[in-house]
Amino acid sequence: MSPLPALVLLPLLGGAVAWLADRSSTTGTSSARKISWRITLMVLTLETVLLLITTFGQHSYQGPWLDHFSIPWIPIMGISFQLDMDGLSLSLLWLTLILSFPCVLLATRKIDTNAGAFHFLFLAALTGITGTFLATDLFLFFFLWELMLVPMFVLISAWGHEDRHRAAIRFFLFTQGSGLLMLLSILGLVITHYRQTDVLTFDYFTLAHTHLSSFLSMVLMLGFFIAFAVKLPVVPVHVWLPAAHTQAPTAASVLLAGLMLKTGGYGMIRFNLMLFPETALRFAPVAMGLGVAGILYGAWLSCAQNDVKRLIAYSSISHMGFVMLGIFTGSNTGLQGAIVQMLAHGLSTGALFLIAGSIQDRLHTRDMAQIGGLWASWPRLSSAGLFFAVASLGMPGFGNFTGEFLVLLATWHVNSIVAALTTAGLVLAAIYSLRMVNRIFLAPTRTPPLHATDFSIGQMSVLGVLMVLLVLLGVHPQPVMTLSLPSSLSTAAPSSGGDYGQ
């Protein structure tokens, strides 16, 4: 019995239990109000156990993919509930879990209005994200892709900050609208396949062998690409991101930046690159151009922000530009760089959002001009902030550097001008990160912290785990790089290994 469906469905069920438990215990004592939080923690622990079993257990499934699960879902349409796991999925699943723990441990504990509903939505979004990383039935993928939007919309819209409604609606409209384009592409692919073979199926592996004319293939790929580009985000369609990240409650910000953006990158690898390899190669110049534009534009705007969360949000756009660049270089080096960058960005930006959220909880402002000089009063929080800010600017020794370096290396082989431009993004990254560090932590103290306290040892150790992982990713990335390459499309016989584009 494959643990994959349990991995996907467990958070949703656990969330429902948490909600019900919270509703039934209305005694109002603080310990009773924490019940949904406890259940969430238990669910995450169970998920970890499951994932450990999946990672280190014996794989009965033969072939390049690690695990496989499939039952028919809507047989009339040829839709099945089909999950497959390869190294890429596995590494992103680990990122999902590693990032959810600090989220729950540090951020969601503070929620006291409707905590049950909050945890339910949080876990529902996690179901969508894990499912997206595993689904290999195109309909199921789309279903889960859409499913993660609603909880996120409600999280932002109900628990967010001052301008939350506008941000939530913008987020939803952009992601949902682009999702519809992907739906049309999926349908186009399925029906073309149906015309050719008289088999109606949404199976990823079968559809990969559809013969497409070069025009049709480009149109279909663009449908997928736009949906992923909105999520990633790529520059012209990034407008939802700064507002959504800024207005979301801390836990949702971490989910958004750390995980949801990665679904975009994952989709580009899994669906653009592997379903339409030749077309992706033809499209690569445009995509790389967009990637560089994202790197420079995000970094430039990041330099001009006064709002901490907004600054981190724009820096995410810049970092995700590297992911896009790496994916479309067409070499394994670039792809490995993109994946390492995704993992490292998830860890570092997730942590930065947690710290920014903690600062906002304590000082009730995100304006860097008003924060100023926290080092003296909160040395632990400030040192953690410094650590992750330096990691995210791409200092050697951290995962971000590995990713960016690999991407630059791969880009240099393709186009040296693009690589040179990209380097400018790295300089800007240093500017905005250090500016943030300077103004928040090192500047002279401006506001006396009232009754707020520094991070406790426990909180620091949670962040410490993230730090260790980031450093590991920086100094010894080889295991992750080997593990996380996507498996080839054939399900049966082991092929020559992930050499899709060389």
Partner 1 sequence: MITHDLFLPLPLPILSLGTMLLLGSIAWHRSLTRSLAIGFFTLVLALGGLNYHLGSPQVEGASLFVHDRWGNYTALLILLSSLCILLMSWRDLHHDKTHPMDEYPLLLVLGTLGAITMVFSTNYLPFFLGVEIQALSLMGLVASRPYYFAQATEASMKYLILSGVSSAILLFGIGLAYATTGSLYFSPPPASPDNTIPAIATIMILVGVFFKLSAVPFHMWLPDVMEGSPPPVAAFMAVVSKIAIFSSLVRYFGTEETPVYLHGILFTVIILTILGGNILALRQTNLIRLLAYSSIAHVGYLLIAFFSPGQLRSEAITLYLAAYAASTLGIFAIICAFSWAENSNGSHIPKWKGLFYTRPFLATTLSLMLLSLAGIPPGIGFFAKFEVAATGVERQQTLLLATLVVGSIIGLYYYLYVIRTLMGAQNTPSLPVKEGHSPELTTLIVVLTLIVVVGGIFPARMIPQVLPSPTSPQNGLINDPVHEPENS
Reported residue count of the chain is: 502
Asked whether position 77 contacts partner 1 by CB under 8 A, the answer is yes
Please check whether residue 292 is in contact with residue 140, taking contact to mean a CB–CB distance below 8 angstroms.
Answer: no
Asked whether position 121 contacts partner 1 by CB under 8 A, the answer is no
Asked whether position 158 contacts partner 1 by CB under 8 A, the answer is yes
Quote the CA–CA distance of 315 and 270 in Å, as a whole number: 25
Count of residues engaged in binding partner 1, rule: CB under 8 A: 38
Closest CA to 480 of 58, 7, 90: 90
Asked whether position 71 contacts partner 1 by CB under 8 A, the answer is no
Quote the CA–CA distance of 382 and 390 in Å, as a whole number: 12
Residue that has been written with the tokens 């992706």 in this structure: 280
* C-beta of 76 vs 493, nearer to partner 1: 76
Q: Please state the φ and ψ torsions of residue 213, each to the nearest 5 degrees.
A: -70, 160
* C-beta of 154 vs 386, nearer to partner 1: 154
* C-beta of 174 vs 388, nearer to partner 1: 174
DSSP3 helix / strand / coil % (the chain, rounded to 5): 75, 5, 20
Asked whether position 75 contacts partner 1 by CB under 8 A, the answer is yes
Asked whether position 52 contacts partner 1 by CB under 8 A, the answer is no
Q: Please state the φ and ψ torsions of residue 383, each to the nearest 5 degrees.
A: -70, -40
Asked whether position 228 contacts partner 1 by CB under 8 A, the answer is no
| Alpha-carbon dihedral 444, 445, 447, 451, rounded to 10 degrees | 170
What's the CA angle centered on 83, arms 19 and 278, to 5 degrees?
130
Q: Which of 13, 52, 53, 191 binds partner 1 (CB under 8 A)?
A: 191
Sequence-ordered list of residues with C-beta below 8 angstroms from that of 316, at least 6 positions apart, any chain = 241, 245, 257, 261, 298, 345, 349
Quote the CA–CA distance of 487 and 466 in Å, as a whole number: 27
Asked whether position 149 contacts partner 1 by CB under 8 A, the answer is yes
CB of 462 to partner 1, least distance (A): 30
CB of 15 to partner 1, least distance (A): 13
Q: For 258, which DSSP code? A: I
**Residue ranges in 127-146 that form contacts with partner 1 under rule CB under 8 A:** 139, 143, 146
Quote the CA–CA distance of 66 and 376 in Å, as a whole number: 50
CB of 216 to partner 1, least distance (A): 11
Asked whether position 240 contacts partner 1 by CB under 8 A, the answer is no
Asked whether position 454 contacts partner 1 by CB under 8 A, the answer is no
Task: Give the C-alpha distances (Å, rounded to integers) separating 198 from 41, 74, 137, 190, 261.
Answer: 47, 17, 18, 10, 36
CB of 23 to partner 1, least distance (A): 9
Q: Which of 122, 133, 141, 172 binds partner 1 (CB under 8 A)?
A: 172
* C-beta of 181 vs 489, nearer to partner 1: 181
Closest CA to 93 of 116, 127, 61, 59: 127
Options 169-177, 332-340, 418-426, 490-498: segment touching partner 1 (CB under 8 A) = 169-177
Q: Which of 24, 42, 165, 482 binds partner 1 (CB under 8 A)?
A: 165
Q: Which of 6, 16, 20, 169 binds partner 1 (CB under 8 A)?
A: 169
- Tell me which residues touch partner 1 (CB under 8 A): 73-79, 113-114, 139, 143, 146-147, 149-150, 153-154, 157-158, 165, 168-169, 172-173, 176-177, 180-181, 183-184, 187-188, 190-191, 194, 198-200
